[in-house]
Amino acid sequence: MTPAIVGFGSALPDSAGQGELWDGFFAEHFGGSALARRLFSAVGVHRRHTVANPLEEDLSGWTTAARMRRFDELAPPLGHRAVLAALTDAGLAAEDVGLLTVASCTGYGTPGLDIKLAGSLGMRPDLRRLFVGHMGCYAALPALGGVVDFAAARDRPAVLLCLELTSLHIQPPTADPQQIVSHALFGDAAVAVVVHPRAPGLAVLDVAAFTDTSGLDQMTWDITDLGFRMGLSPRVPDVLARHLGAVIGDLLDRNGLGLADVAGWAVHPGGPRILDTVEETLGLPATALRSSREVLAEHGNCSSATLLLVLRKLIGGELRGGGHVVAMAFGPGLTLYAALLRVSG
């Protein structure tokens, strides 16, 4: 059998409404800017989860070292809860796992989160571990590809955890529209999946990647003295539109499928324009990306963790009866990753 996702688990910090965040903090943070107000209303986010709620504490002047100490304090318990929930959902124990892969671009330290989770969860001392860092929003798919390859080659279950605490990287006040958009979009989440080499579930059939290095400067995530700073060009959807059709077409063609054979679409909701671009470029119906838009509204953009939230929502809804799924995510590079999956019962 093809390795398949057999368990999902998540852990989310407390949430705050978008209007509440604007009125209580960001309106003053951005100097009452009319542009900032419009952007906060236009990004499709209604609520976000946050470990550092600016209504309670303002981290915008904190050093990167202080932010990393907070990550080291808050990430392990969230990750523990997410992985434990995924293992429970899969009906497996921690000692059954042969590989633990952790993806994050929002916190670093050594010994890392992967080591701490292996200890707190009671995983085997010969557990293989892999940390995937600083790939950004698309990291879930290359990380999932590696987890699937391990499960197939070693005939052992594997776990992927995507954990992002973007709220730790709030930046000082600015009039830069790119910064305003990123502050309006991003939220926090920890989401884990269990991949089994020989069990029914969400089978991972194929993974595709494409990078247009001419867009290197259009999406960035820079380490500064005051946390990590996002650069997000408005040209990103246009670059993606140039390549999206060919990449998805090739992925489907080599698996003997066409667009009409896809029962569900799990698209990373980088923002409303990204989702609109995918719909328009591929000619999808208006309801095709409903799960992506709902996750954006309920959670915001949680970087690498977001796509797993979309997949869980998608297969928990209209795809219970089976069918092929295309998942895709975008990030720095500019990079497009896509995966073909199939729901098996």
By annotation, the residues acting in catalysis are 137
User: Among 96, 323, 313, which residue's Cα sits nearest to residue 196?
Assistant: 96
**Token couple for 98:** 């042969």
CA distance 175 to 246: 37
What CA–CA distances, in Å, run from 127 to 139, 146, 158?
A: 22, 15, 10
**Token couple for 162:** 């995507």
Q: Looking up tokens 């050594």, which residue turns up?
A: 110
| Furthest CA-CA distance within the chain | 57
CA distance 236 to 136: 14
Where is 293: in which H helix or E strand? helix 290-299
Dihedral (CA of 46, 47, 48, 52) sign: positive
